[in-house]
Amino acid sequence: MTAPRYDVIAIGNAIVDVMAAASDELIEELGMAKGGMTLIDEDGARDLYAAMGPAREISGGSAANTLAGLSALGAQCAFVGQVADDQLGAVFAHDIRAVGIDFDTAPRAGEPSTARCLIFVTPDGQRTMNTFLGASQFLPAAALDEDAVSGAGILYLEGYLWDPEEPRAAMRSAIAAARAAGRKVAFTLSDGFVIARHGDDFRALIADGQIDILFANEAELAALTGEDDFETGLASLEGQVETLVVTRSDKGAVAMRGGERAEVAAEPIAKVIDTTGAGDLFAAGFLFGTIREEALAVCLRRGAIAAAEIISHYGARPEADLQALMAERLEG
Amino acid sequence: MTAPRYDVIAIGNAIVDVMAAASDELIEELGMAKGGMTLIDEDGARDLYAAMGPAREISGGSAANTLAGLSALGAQCAFVGQVADDQLGAVFAHDIRAVGIDFDTAPRAGEPSTARCLIFVTPDGQRTMNTFLGASQFLPAAALDEDAVSGAGILYLEGYLWDPEEPRAAMRSAIAAARAAGRKVAFTLSDGFVIARHGDDFRALIADGQIDILFANEAELAALTGEDDFETGLASLEGQVETLVVTRSDKGAVAMRGGERAEVAAEPIAKVIDTTGAGDLFAAGFLFGTIREEALAVCLRRGAIAAAEIISHYGARPEADLQALMAERLEG
């Protein structure tokens, strides 16, 4: 096994977030499930955009956000995801390359356009997401460079991308390539509705020992395991994944690795502005600690610090100097 | 003279701002004049974008920013400006309509694309702008609805748009229509380099009594009048414009109207994040007071409060509830 060329290679949706402040009344009026993620088509995106307040565009995508955090911390990363050959595709490509991530997936010509996630942020900082997957769902299996996957320490996959057929096939090939090369496979469950649609696939992958590091939040853990009780849910996955990380919003997070268990409190912050990307950046911090073979509790702390940074401003890409922030907080 | 349909109608560049944090070293390395605005072509925009950090896209354009502030305060506004038929054009149109501004200029098919302003924001909050005017400079005189201009209380024009020929012709027609209808014409000088190119035009308009309300900053006042001394510069315009407003960054602002003179201190803020749009929002606050026929000192205070809001966050469009902010500050 040669030394990995990348610390982490990720496959995920290539999405530009379109974010606007919204009242709780608007969320209700538009019939949206507050805090959730709903898939919409291009017409739906047009209608919903028209109902949205003035917005800002910031690159997003769950796994891409995680890589942006990892890259800011100093990890070597590559991203695989599909944009269209349009202005928002150019924005996504610019933003991910600008933080030092290799991104070589060629833009796709013609319709549909680059994926957008219309995000309504309520005064409590919660985000309600409506995603038009556009070009992102047409990531072909051929876009995958198996050598790059075999040469990366960790393969990171987002559950959101399990819906469309081609990217799902690409992710299955990537898992096989990573495992054959003795690399780690990390997976984030992404969303309760994704689990409702693909829970059987996810449970089979886990039972087969295909997933080394699994990220979930409390609701996703319950949806995956069918256990409403948190501890019972945790226990039901014991021994099936090497590392399990469950985030619990303001209650912090829990991780289990081998026989070990660790917990972390949520990092205190002055004011929650926008929770978009909290889970993505938690994963970034945790994986960075994992790459450095740090203690489980330190990996969790890194996750909590990165998540706290991201929810203190609009957008799911880090703004502060994460390296400096971690150095300061981990010493303190 | 019938009651105006709009409080303010503006003609300006239709631009999406592309904003990224940047170090002073990068500004120097790229040979940019810190704090200034430089026009670039599409190739220049591509090269500079590649050198830029991860960015966010927020609608901008000087006069459009001013209208966004006016609209947030409750004024009825219409905007005239040219976008291309592309994704960034749709972003601009959405954002301006989402705040309740009428915007009926049809998007322009084909090249060039919608205007972008690449803005490098240094740690001191200063912005250095590089503008690719794209479709914006092809605003045809035919896009102007003279009835709408005649039916608006104030016509507001940005000096930035004096460069390209067609929009300049549109603005000259608009001035004639507004004056014929007995409306007020407000003009912002925008930039020292614009004055270097078109100072003779501006001085002629002013000497002819075509401008009722003139906005400038200190450097622009000096460039326009040729007077380095601030007071001498002010005095040289006395009697030529009904209202003169000169902003002085952290030293506040001065206004003269008829024989009256008033000054305001800069509104204190916790931290300057990004000065983009400070002048635009000062104009918004001042014009809102003007519409309501408030005392000169109150108009200035409104300008200072709106400017303070805009420099406390990234982007040149208001985020806070400006009406509530003004109610609170003006009472205090």
Say if residue A1's pLDDT is above 60. no
The ranges assigned to domains in chain B are 6-331
Q: On the CB side of A148, how many CA atoms lie within 13 Å of its CA?
A: 18
B20–A98 C-beta distance less than 8 A? yes
Q: How far is CA B242 from CA A11, A300, B212, B260, B304, in A?
A: 62, 64, 5, 10, 21
Say how far apart CA A194 and CA A219 lie, in whole Å. 12
pLDDT digits 0-9 by tens, A43-72? 999 999 999 999 999 999 999 999 999 999
User: How sure is the predictor about B220, in pLDDT bands with cuts at 50, 70 and 90?
Assistant: very high
Question: What's the CATH code, domain B6-331?
Answer: 3.40.1190.20
Give the tokens for residue B204.
């002629």
Say if residue B1's pLDDT is above 60. no
The pairing of strands A213-217 and B102-103 is unpaired
Say how far apart CA A230 and CA A222 lie, in whole Å. 7
Mean pLDDT in residue range A3-20: 95
Tell me, yes or no, if B56 comes closer than 8 A to chain A by beta carbon: yes
Give the pLDDT of residue B125. Answer: 95
Phi, psi of A133 (to 5 degrees): -75, -25
Phi, psi of B42 (to 5 degrees): -65, -40
Tell me, yes or no, if A7 comes closer than 8 A to chain B by beta carbon: no
pLDDT digits 0-9 by tens, A258-293? 989 999 999 999 999 999 999 999 999 999 999 999
pLDDT digits 0-9 by tens, A249-262? 999 999 999 989 99
User: How sure is the predictor about B331, in pLDDT bands with cuts at 50, 70 and 90?
Assistant: confident
Option in B50, B56, B86 nearest A315 (CB): B56
Mean pLDDT in residue range A152-168: 95
Give the pLDDT of residue B97. Answer: 98
Say if residue A161's pLDDT is above 90. yes
Option in B49, B91, B317 nearest A57 (CB): B91
Give the pLDDT of residue B3. Answer: 67
Phi, psi of A61 (to 5 degrees): 90, 130
Give the pLDDT of residue A18. Answer: 98
pLDDT digits 0-9 by tens, A172-189? 999 999 999 999 999 999
Tell me, yes or no, if A189 comes closer than 8 A to chain B by beta carbon: no
Nearest of A252, A295, A283, A317 to residue A59 by alpha carbon: A317
Say if residue A2's pLDDT is above 70. no
A86 vs B contacts (CB less than 8 Å): 86-87
3-state secondary structure string across chain A: CCCCCEEEEEECCCEEEEEEECCHHHHHHCCCCCCCEEECCHHHHHHHHHCCCCCEEEECCHHHHHHHHHHHHCCCEEEECCCECCHHHHHHHHHHHHCCCEECCCCECCCCCCEEEEEEECCCCCEEEEEECHHHHHCCHHHCCHHHHHCEEEEEEEHHHHCCHHHHHHHHHHHHHHHHCCCEEEEECCCHHHHHHHHHHHHHHHHCCCCCEEEEEHHHHHHHHCCCCHHHHHHHHCCCCCEEEEECHHHCEEEEECCEEEEECCCCCCCCCCCCCHHHHHHHHHHHHHHCCCCHHHHHHHHHHHHHHHCCCCCCCCCCCHHHHHHHHHHC
Give the pLDDT of residue A111. Answer: 95
Tell me, yes or no, if A136 comes closer than 8 A to chain B by beta carbon: no
Option in B86, B87, B95 nearest A55 (CB): B95
A54–B57 C-beta distance less than 8 A? no
Option in A20, A56, A96 nearest B57 (CB): A56
pLDDT digits 0-9 by tens, B39-90? 999 999 999 999 999 999 999 999 999 999 999 999 999 999 999 999 999 9
Mean pLDDT in residue range B182-198: 95
Give the pLDDT of residue B20. Answer: 97
Q: Is A226 left (phi over 0), alpha (psi -120 to 50) or beta?
A: left
Tell me, yes or no, if A276 comes closer than 8 A to chain B by beta carbon: no
pLDDT digits 0-9 by tens, B292-304? 999 999 999 999 9
User: How sure is the predictor about A332, in pLDDT bands with cuts at 50, 70 and 90?
Assistant: low
Instruction: Give the predicted TM-score (pTM) of the model.
Output: 0.96
Q: What is the distance in angstroms between the Cα of A267 and the nearest Cα belonging to chain B?
A: 23
Give the pLDDT of residue A331. Answer: 84
Tell me, yes or no, if A26 comes closer than 8 A to chain B by beta carbon: no
A91 vs B contacts (CB less than 8 Å): 55, 57
Residue B19: which H helix or E strand, with range?
strand B15-21
